[in-house]
Amino acid sequence: MLRIVPPATSERIYPEIARQGLADRLTAFQQSVLSRHNLSAIVDRLRLYRDERARMPLEDVLEKMRRDIEIVAVAGGAPSARQPVFRVSFSYTNRLEVEGVTQTLVNGLIDESQRENSRRLDSVFQFVSSEHDRAALEVEAAEAKLAAFRRAGGKGPDQAGLRLHQMALLETRASAAEAGLSRARQEQALLEADVQVARAPRNLSPPAAGPAATPPPSSMVDHLEAERKRLRGRYTDSHPDVMRLTAEIDAARQAAAPGSHAPLAPRSAPPPSAAVSVPTVADPRTVRAEAQLRAKRLEIARFEQEITAVARQLAMLKTELDQAPDANATLDQLTREHEMALQRHRAARQKLLESEAARKGDHWKLGETLEVVDSPTLPETPVAPNRLAIVLLAALLGLGAGLAAVVACEWNDESLRTIRQLRVVAPARILGSIPLIENELVVRRRQRLAAVGWASAALMSAAVIGGSVLRYYAGRS
C-alpha cells in the first residue's frame, strides 16, 4: 500500500511545491514503471515465467506480466475525488517470487516520482531563468534607449517647465534692459545738448584789466578722483559710474597738461562799443560732459548687446518648446516601455525565486511524496484458482450432465417391457407371457461388473484429487 503524503509547507510559502499534483501524475509513473525495459529487467533478474518464455515471445510474456500487475486507488477515508492511497499487487504461481516483484514495483514508483519531480522542477527553473535573463536584457535595452534619447537633447515635462521658467527670467531681463536702454538714450540726448551748448562760441566783453580768471584744473581732477574713490568703495571698476568718472579724470588731466590751450592773440585796443571774439578754451565742464556722453554711449551699446543676446536665447528656447510635443511623446513611449520591462523583470525575478525555493524544497522532501503504508508480505493463500468453487462447479456440471444423459437414453429407448406396451403395438390377441428367468451366475457377473466400474471411477477420482493436492502444496513450498 502506498500513500501520498501531503506537502510539508503551505502554498503561501512555496506555491510550486504545494501545487505538484502527485496523484494526477501517478498514471504517468505507472507507464514508466511498466515499460518494456523495466519489466524485462525484472523478468531476467528474478527468472520469472520460465515456462512461458520457452514457448512464447518476450512481448507476449511482458504483456501477461502487465495483466498480472495491478495498481489501483483505494479509498483513504475521506470522500474525495483524489484518492491518496494506492494498492500495488502482483499475481504469480510462485508466492516466494511475488514478494520480490511487488517490492521492486513499489521502489520503482517511489524513485520514478522523485526523479520526475526533480526533472520537472529543473525544467521549470531553466525556463524561468531564461525568461529572467531575457527580461533583464529588455530592461537594459530600454534604459539604453532612454539614456540615448536624453543625451540627444530629449526634453521631458520637467525640462519643459524649466525652459518656461528660463524664458520668464529672460523676458524679465529683456524688459529691464529695454527700460535701461530707454533711460540711457534720454540721458544721452540731454548730454548731447549740454555738449553742444558747451562747444558753442561765446562773445565776451573786453575785460577791465588783466586776463579772465579761470579755476585751476588741478582742483577739478582732485574732486573727480575723490568721487571715484568713494564709488570704488561700493562698486567695482566695471561699474558704469566708475567708468564714467575714470573717463572724466583722463579728459581733465589732458586738459590740464601744458600746451593743451591755444595761444592767445595779442591784445589791441578795440573800440569801446565793439565786442571782442575770444578763441574757445577747453573747459573742464565741457570735458566732463563729453566723458559722460562717451560713457553713456558705452552703456547704450552694452544694453543693446544684452537685448540682442536675450532675444537670441528666447528664440532658441521657443524653438525647443515648439519641438517639445514630439519629444514628450517619444519620451512617454520610452518611459512606458521601460516601466513595462521593469514589471516583466520583477515578475520573472519573483518566479525565479519561487522556482529556486521549489528546488530546495524538493531536495529537503517538502513537497508531496509517496510513502509505503504496508510493505509487501508473503502471501499465505492463493488468490487464484479457487479450487473449491471449481470442484463445486464440476460436481454440478457432472450431475446435470448425468441427468441429461439419463433423460436422453430414456427418451430414445423403444423396447417393450410390459404387456400393456405390447397390446398397444400388436393388433393380435395376447395368449400368454413368459417371464425373464436369470440364473444366479448371470446375476453375480452383472454385480461384479458394476462393482468394478464404481471402484475404477473412485480410484481415478482419488488419483486426480491427490495429484492436484500434491501440485498445490509443492507450489507453495
Dist. CA 285–CA 280, nearest whole Å: 13
Dist. CA 48–CA 69, nearest whole Å: 13
16: Cβ contacts below 8 Å, ≥ 6 apart: 121, 124, 354, 355, 357, 358, 361
CA-CA-CA-CA dihedral for 50, 55, 56, 61, to nearest 10: -20
Dist. CA 446–CA 348, nearest whole Å: 101
pLDDT at 446 over 90: no
Tell me how many degrees the CA angle 252-255-260 measures, rounded to the nearest 5: 170
For the stretch 162-206, pLDDT in tens is: 777 788 888 888 888 888 888 888 888 877 777 777 666 544 444
For the stretch 455-472, pLDDT in tens is: 998 999 899 888 888 877
206: Cβ contacts below 8 Å, ≥ 6 apart: 270, 276
Amino acid, single-letter form, for residue 218: S
Q: What average pLDDT does range 203-212 have in this prediction?
A: 43
Amino acid, single-letter form, for residue 154: G
For the stretch 351-402, pLDDT in tens is: 888 888 777 777 666 666 777 777 777 777 777 767 778 878 888 998 899 8
The pLDDT mean for the chain works out to 75
Q: Which helix (H) or strand (E) holds 276?
A: strand 276-277
- pLDDT value at position 404? 92
pLDDT bracket for residue 220 (50, 70, 90): low
Determine contact, residues 60/82, Cβ cutoff 8 Å.
no
Cell 578795440, located at residue: 270
**More reliable by pLDDT, 93 or 381:** 93
Q: What average pLDDT does range 76-87 have in this prediction?
A: 56
Q: What average pLDDT does range 290-319 have in this prediction?
A: 85
Q: What average pLDDT does range 273-283 have in this prediction?
A: 45
Determine contact, residues 192/297, Cβ cutoff 8 Å.
no
pLDDT bracket for residue 38 (50, 70, 90): confident
For the stretch 9-35, pLDDT in tens is: 555 545 554 455 555 666 777 787 888
- pLDDT value at position 158? 54
pLDDT bracket for residue 252 (50, 70, 90): confident
pLDDT at 142 over 80: yes
Determine contact, residues 241/235, Cβ cutoff 8 Å.
yes
Three-class SS of residue 380? Answer: coil
- Which three cell numbers, joined as nine digits, stand for 56? 512464447
pLDDT at 154 over 70: no
